[in-house]
Structure 1
């Protein structure tokens, strides 16, 4: 941990420069609340939690600039005081999660399909590259030689491009009205109904289907729009409206993976995330999923040995699969992330070579 400096993250830069000189790998992290996610990395721990604080906040401009080690709960509390929020609902897998970890992991919550991802809300960033240089991107967007908007490329980079020190984020006002409807629909019918509603001018914000045949739909927007949508959707599929307090608790549980579904049925099973187009049909897999994002994100508990079966089903639906949480036996040699295309792999390698030429940031162990 480093003491907070009001101007410059000098201690972090010193650590990176020393690691570069010694060719010592660094394991970058914040609150370590997402340490289960992704392939294992090696290196000396480098924590950003001491570099915290909100640098600037302009509620009328809907922009906040915050240091990477700032607790996510702290930022959201400040925004809530002004009736604003991070609309993409970043998951919180435990106390202590940081803004830098939120950006590096690139994970979004239930509203992702309607409002966008973390990347869509990143306006700018500062980070320390693999040469120990503090770089700034954003505003008048600076681009590297390959022409990428680097501040957004950092979202989901898993700490492999540099040590994020500061980010500027777009925030949004909390919606004036919200309602949750629940429908008794089997998986196929629920997906079909979501597709129909998706083509209509309805304030859909989030959805969740889970066994036994229950579809939850959250509406957010103007009061009149939400009320009209509730009446129309109830007529379409016979839904009932949930009380606001328990509905909010359930959506928070979905966001933070605290719903009963996210408790492993048995310790050795892995949690798989499958990303597919919203219009993808029911996938031919023998397990019962939980489905979010109007059909685009689907979760299964299945053994690591089912990797080929799951990834084949995802590919046939023009999607991909991630081993999100390993079971008690570990990933059993299965890569957490799906193989990327040669083109995307080339781009990734070029970015890493540009920003981390010595390969010291969050490297994965070399397999014999």
Structure 2
């Protein structure tokens, strides 16, 4: 499905990158800019990817779809939905015009992530404009990755700091035959205990969130397994739209007010003693915290249990992402130098040192 229009659009992006390299001009890569609130502020010339859009290849029998970076997620999901398929990691959009490139660059996953995998687990291959001014294809069925790097997956969650993603191939899955959501009255402590117990059993749970008062579960799979699990667990029926509202931060908890933090924690971590209101997501592995507490206290508490904290309130802290330990920062710097030697791609978006 490639055509001259595709070449023109990708050529325009490549030309802008090469011009920036010649002039040592930083580039601020963006699509719909729906996730601009995440990360540090970036200066420089805007490189807008939205004109480079469209589904390149899709064969439902192969369970693989390839799309250009500027393709709206709504378009991608509509194509998959028509074949009763889905991108199982449920990436949040945060805007109606959010793009495929932004989905990969941010690497954010939705409620199903602990049971299905993260965005990077569904990336099979990419086309990338590198900091050497080359437009290359990696992964998938075309080119073996070089220098020991899985570049396609490295681009996931890089926030545009390693190169310009122009195209991505993704693994997709059939939609479950049956989906049912329930709510159970219990405390947060009880919820964590129950989830640890249920995690050792063949229950068809695909989402679990505790809002401080109730544990909300989504059950997915064959009719027999879902019906049997509901009969065993009980609980009141919950509107299926709850999970999309949670994923897109449309629930009242996410209304503007106190600063919002995302805490990523090891499985089965007990409740953390932090001021503010906490919601348990991903069966407790992801916690949403609304708190006026000092960033240093939040990060110290989370680090002590082996987790990390990301600030979702733009401009609140100088380093929205958890600062890297020296050894890890060394490897990040080395990777940045290898892929973006002049440092023109989203400089400082992830960390000031990059």
Q: TM-score, normalised by structure 2?
A: 0.95
Q: 1:339-350 residue pairs with structure 2 within 5 A?
A: 339-350=323-334
Q: How many Å separate the matches in 2 of 1:334 and 1:40? A: 9
The answer to whether the Cα contact below 8 Å between 2:126 and 2:140 also exists between their aligned partners in 1 is no
| Residue aligning to 2:237 | 241
Q: How many Å separate the matches in 1 of 2:140 and 2:217? A: 36
Q: How many Å separate the matches in 1 of 2:197 and 2:208? A: 13
- What is the deviation of 1:4? 8.3
Q: Which runs of 5+ in 2 are unaligned?
A: none
Q: 1:258-269 residue pairs with structure 2 within 5 A?
A: 258-264=250-256, 266=257, 269=258
The answer to whether the Cα contact below 8 Å between 1:88 and 1:116 also exists between their aligned partners in 2 is yes
- How many residues align? The count is 347
Q: Is it true that 1:64 corresponds to 2:91 in the alignment? A: no
Q: How many Å separate the matches in 1 of 2:327 and 2:225? A: 44
Q: Which runs of 4+ in 1 moved over 3 A?
A: none
Specify the SS of the correspondent of 1:151. Answer: helix
Q: Deviations over 1:106-157 (max 9, x none)?
A: 0001111110000000000001011210011012562232x12110111000
Q: Is it true that 1:316 corresponds to 2:304 in the alignment? A: yes
Specify the SS of the correspondent of 2:240. Answer: helix
The answer to whether the Cα contact below 8 Å between 1:27 and 1:43 also exists between their aligned partners in 2 is yes
Q: Is it true that 1:292 corresponds to 2:281 in the alignment? A: yes
Q: How many Å separate the matches in 2 of 1:126 and 1:343? A: 29
Q: Is it true that 1:74 corresponds to 2:75 in the alignment? A: yes
Q: 1:1-368 residue pairs with structure 2 within 5 A?
A: 5-7=5-7, 9-140=10-141, 142-145=144-147, 147-211=148-212, 213-234=213-234, 239-242=235-238, 247-264=239-256, 266=257, 269-303=258-292, 306-326=294-314, 330-331=315-316, 333-364=317-348
In structure 2, relative to structure 1, the CA distance for the partners of 1:223 and 1:4 (3 Å cut) is farther
The answer to whether the Cα contact below 8 Å between 2:277 and 2:291 also exists between their aligned partners in 1 is no
Q: TM-score, normalised by structure 1?
A: 0.91
> Please, what is the CA RMSD of the aligned residues?
1.6
